[in-house]
Amino acid sequence: MGDEQFLSQDSAVLTILKTSEEVNQLKDVDTILDKILYESRKFANADAGSIFLVEKDRLIFSYVQNDTLFKKETANAALYQNFGIPINEQSIVGYVAKTRQSLVIDDAYELDPILPFSFNKSFDEKSGFRTTSMLTIPLIAQESRLVGVMQLINAKNDMGKVGPFSSEAKIYIPLFCNNASVAIERGIMNRELILRMMQMAELRDPTETGAHVQRVGAYCAEIYGTWASRRGHSAKEIKRARDNLRLAAMMHDVGKVGISDSILKKPAKLTDEEFDAMKWHTVYGARLFKNETSELDRMSREIALCHHEKWQGRGYPGVVTPDVWSDDAKLGEPINGEDIPLAARICAVADVYDALASPRSYKDPFPDEKCLGILESDAGTHFDPEIVEVFVEIFDVIKAIRDKYVEATKK
Ligand SMILES: [Fe+2]
Ligand SMILES: [Fe+2]
């Protein structure tokens, strides 16, 4: 919305209320950041923006959108950059975090030298982007906790010309951010709860680390996003499903908590009998998600149950009779093709790739070509070929995710 096209006060408030409500329905922190940044940019007609989240005494780069540099709604490696800025007065975002006051800049290249902060030109120099106007807002949740900082860049007028931010944007976006900060905190908490739950599985199976589950969650979200936009699904539908998929995929092996240590930690190959017992981690996992009305539960159940099924059959657990909830459940004939839920077909590729690209006690990480070669040669037998095709197409994003979530060094 440009300066000439004033929103009436009422409709601005209504827009904020409606958008806040939509944000409150989201669960995963990345989807929440995406939505907050997108809606704020839309309100201010800003070309670009990013969000930094507070971690200890630093601001960690956490989300970016840029209509000039990145294509909309496609997988984007820039999302997974890994850098932090100290909270101090030397940078613009650091200054806003420190003072907890919004900051409006009309031209980043014309800053008064008397100001304590300066504009870091390195991004512009590298990318060819020209930053002009900036609206930088602290994200403050309940009990005045600073969650992060949002920065909107280059407000445009109705002719698409970059200029200063409108007075509406300066008033209403910080108001929206107050609500949004609470949602961000909730999203962070959801993810932390899942990571803690997965730590229990990790205690049993040391290959299921926090970094592994975060990578698998992010791989799945990106694969799904590209798969669904190729098929013409709406942006809204993609965001909603991706929100659930990332969290559900993080819990793919939660059922390992039900498998005995002698099997999970066995350094040698499993016997047929042990392998049969191992197959039950899929059913144990599925049993944790019984709520029929929650889409997150449905997706978590599908992934936990079916992430070891194979496109041409021969996977497990197959058809569980009479059903997964029954005390005398039995594993049956493998399912195949599109009978395997999409979320599980995606997770199968993501999980196997991550095992190939990670070190194990018996092997080093495989190089990229070897990983891709294995996935491609198993496309159509083990894996849904279309999912492998998407995976290869977005491999630069996959690698950026791999570099973002690295194993904490073991003491
Ligand atoms: Fe598994
Ligand atoms: Fe896994």
Position 78 scores a pLDDT of: 87
For residue 249, the CA-to-ligand 1 centroid distance in Å is: 11
State how far the Cα of 157 lies from the Cα of 163, in Å rounded to an integer: 7
For residue 307, the CA-to-ligand 2 centroid distance in Å is: 9
The torsion angles phi and psi of 100, rounded to 5 degrees, stand at 60, 30
Position 411 scores a pLDDT of: 35
* Nearest ligand to residue 212 Cα: 2
Architecture per CATH, 9-186: 2-Layer Sandwich (3.30)
The tokens describing 240, both together, are: 């909603």
Given 27, 98, 256, 310, which residue is catalytic? 256
123 and 91 Cβ atoms separated by less than 8 Å: no
Position 7 scores a pLDDT of: 54
- What tens digit of pLDDT does each residue of 234-267 get? 998 999 999 999 999 999 999 999 999 899 888 8
Domain ranges of the chain: 9-186, 205-404
Residues of the chain with pLDDT under 50: 1-4, 410-411
For residue 364, the CA-to-ligand 2 centroid distance in Å is: 17
* Nearest ligand to residue 344 Cα: 1
* Nearest ligand to residue 282 Cα: 1
Position 410 scores a pLDDT of: 45
Q: How many CA atoms lie within 13 A of 289 on its CB side?
A: 25
The tokens describing 53, both together, are: 């989240």
Domains 9-186 and 205-404 share a fold: no
- For the beta carbon of residue 276, count every other beta carbon within 10 angstroms: 12
Task: Label residue 33 exposed, middle or buried (CB < 10 Å: 0-12, 13-18, 19+).
Answer: buried
Position 3 scores a pLDDT of: 46
Q: Is 236 a catalytic residue?
A: no
Position 2 scores a pLDDT of: 46
Position 214 scores a pLDDT of: 95
For residue 208, the CA-to-ligand 2 centroid distance in Å is: 6
For residue 179, the CA-to-ligand 2 centroid distance in Å is: 35
Distance of CA 302 to the CA centre of its chain: 19
Considering the entire predicted model, what is its pTM?
A: 0.90
- What tens digit of pLDDT does each residue of 342-383 get? 999 999 999 999 999 999 878 899 999 999 999 999 999 999
Position 360 scores a pLDDT of: 85
Q: How many CA atoms lie within 13 A of 30 on its CB side?
A: 19
Q: State which residues have CB under 5 angstroms from ligand 1, the bound ion.
A: 253
Give the per-residue SS3 of the chain: CCCCCCCCHHHHHHHHHHHHHHHHCCCCHHHHHHHHHHHHHHHHCEEEEEEEEEECCEEEEEEEEECCCCCCCCCCHHHHCCCEEECCCCCHHHHHHHHCCCEEECCHHHCCCCCCCCCCCHHHHHHCCCCCCEEEEEEECHHHCEEEEEEEEEEECCCCCEECCCHHHHHHHHHHHHHHHHHHHHHHHHHHHHHHHHHHHHHHCCCCCHHHHHHHHHHHHHHHHHHHHHCCCCHHHHHHHHHHHHHHHHCCCHHHHHCCHHHHCCCCCCCHHHHHHHCCHHHHHHCCCCCCCCHHHHHHHHHHHHCCCCCCCCCCCCCCECCCCCCCCECCCCCCHHHCCHHHHHHHHHHHHHHHCCCECCECCCCHHHHHHHHHHCECCCECHHHHHHHHHCHHHHHHHHHHCCCCCCC
Architecture per CATH, 205-404: Orthogonal Bundle (1.10)
